[in-house]
Amino acid sequence: MYDKEVQEVLDKLVIFEKMYDQIRLVDPIIKKVLSYKNNIVNELPLKCFDFWAKSKVCNNCVSIRAFNENKTFVKVEYTPNEIYIVTAVPVELSNRRIVIELLKNTTDSMVFRNGNENNDNNSEIYEMIDSMNNLGLKDSLTGIYNRRYINEKLPIELTIASLSEQSLSIIMIDIDFFKKVNDTYGHLTGDCILKNFADTLLAFIKRESDWVSRYGGEEFIICLPGAGLEKAIEIAEHIRRTVENNAILCREHTINITASFGVCSIKPTPGASVENLIECADKKLYAAKNNGRNRVES
């Protein structure tokens, strides 16, 4: 059975039953979900994202955002046949925070009609929803994920690694002497360098589970779930050589750059934190820059 606090939350949900089609209690970190309907609670064997039938964690998880910021958030999401408005409400318990997801089926709403009376082809609507949901997670300059994505995704990766007893590696990367590029060629050329550099990093993302994000300025992070230190170093070194050996054409300038890499790999314990993981990679990056730049430290 559920503890007293959770049961008290469940008892209050009865007032929402006629307003929403699905009500769920979600732990967005471990993706555990309780379904509530007709005053009956079921602990589902599936993960919360399985409801959407996409076989992967949602990139723009509204519940992890509600969990992290302790605010209510709303998003539009879809299954292969239905469109929902999802409201995520954080609830503070004495020893943890959970999230109530209120799901309203809007498939037949006029808002989502696309001119097809049978609603057989929603591809354009789905593309619009995906674009809208990804907008807040993408860096407007480079097109890769942004700092918010790191803040939302990395805690999940850490928890999954801990539960599965697998390694988790991140690579923190900084373009060497980037300020000099801006000062010499101007900020438009600097932006061009950042875009090209991000594209180079993306080319090394081979698995669906791996991802790259702009941490800030000229700093980037690559996350490699399940990869050990040796593999992460191999990838970082390959990227380093590629960057060093390939000039970038930006406007009328051909520019050679290098980058420094800090690699951190851990096998998380239940007490591991995102802050410690990033701090570890940041220290290794600092060592790489302090030891001459254009190198990998681990």
The full 3-state SS of 50-68, as one line of letters, equals: HHHCCCCCCCCCHHHHHHH
148 by Cβ neighbours in 10 Å (0-12 / 13-18 / 19+) ranks as middle
Average pLDDT, stretch 148-168?
87
132 in helix, strand or coil? helix
Q: In which band, very low, low, confident or very high, does the pLDDT at 158 lie, cut at 50, 70 and 90?
A: confident
- 179 vs 215: CA distance, rounded Å: 17
Average pLDDT, stretch 148-157?
89
256 in helix, strand or coil? coil
Average pLDDT, the chain: 87
Do the beta carbons of residue 226 and residue 268 sit within 8 Å? no
**Residue 57 confidence (pLDDT):** 82
**Residue 211 confidence (pLDDT):** 96
- 95 vs 6: CA distance, rounded Å: 11
Phi and psi (nearest 5°) for 247?
Answer: -70, 150
56 by Cβ neighbours in 10 Å (0-12 / 13-18 / 19+) ranks as exposed
Residue of higher predicted confidence among 109 and 91: 91
Average pLDDT, stretch 282-290?
97
Do the beta carbons of residue 187 and residue 195 sit within 8 Å? no
Q: In which band, very low, low, confident or very high, does the pLDDT at 198 lie, cut at 50, 70 and 90?
A: very high
Amino acid occupying residue 115: G
- 148 vs 6: CA distance, rounded Å: 29
**Residue 111 confidence (pLDDT):** 53
Q: Which residue has the tokens 């860096």?
A: 139
Q: In which band, very low, low, confident or very high, does the pLDDT at 179 lie, cut at 50, 70 and 90?
A: very high
Q: pTM of the predicted model, to two decimals? A: 0.77
pLDDT above 70 as % of the chain: 92
Contacts with 3 (C-beta within 8 Å, 6 or more apart), sequence order: none
**Residue 54 confidence (pLDDT):** 80
For strands 259-266 and 296-297, give the pairing.
parallel
Q: In which band, very low, low, confident or very high, does the pLDDT at 291 lie, cut at 50, 70 and 90?
A: very high
Instruction: Give the catalytic positions in this structure.
Output: 218
- 171 vs 169: CA distance, rounded Å: 7
7 in helix, strand or coil? helix
* Plot region of 119 (φ>0 → left; ψ -120 to 50 → alpha; else → beta): left
Average pLDDT, stretch 76-83?
89
Q: How far is CA 254 from CA 44, 142, 184, 218, 232, in A?
A: 56, 19, 13, 19, 30
Q: Could you report the per-residue pLDDT of 216-268, keeping only the tens digit for each?
A: 999 999 999 999 999 999 999 999 999 999 999 998 999 999 999 999 999 87
Position 119 pLDDT exceeds 60: no
**Residue 144 confidence (pLDDT):** 96
Do the beta carbons of residue 134 and residue 60 sit within 8 Å? yes
Domains contained in the chain, CATH given: 4-135 (3.30.450), 147-297 (3.30.70.270)
Other Cβ atoms within 10 Å of 124 Cβ, number: 11
Average pLDDT, stretch 37-51?
78
25 by Cβ neighbours in 10 Å (0-12 / 13-18 / 19+) ranks as buried
Position 33 pLDDT exceeds 60: yes
1 in helix, strand or coil? coil
Q: In which band, very low, low, confident or very high, does the pLDDT at 110 lie, cut at 50, 70 and 90?
A: very low
**Residue 40 confidence (pLDDT):** 67
Q: In which band, very low, low, confident or very high, does the pLDDT at 1 lie, cut at 50, 70 and 90?
A: very low
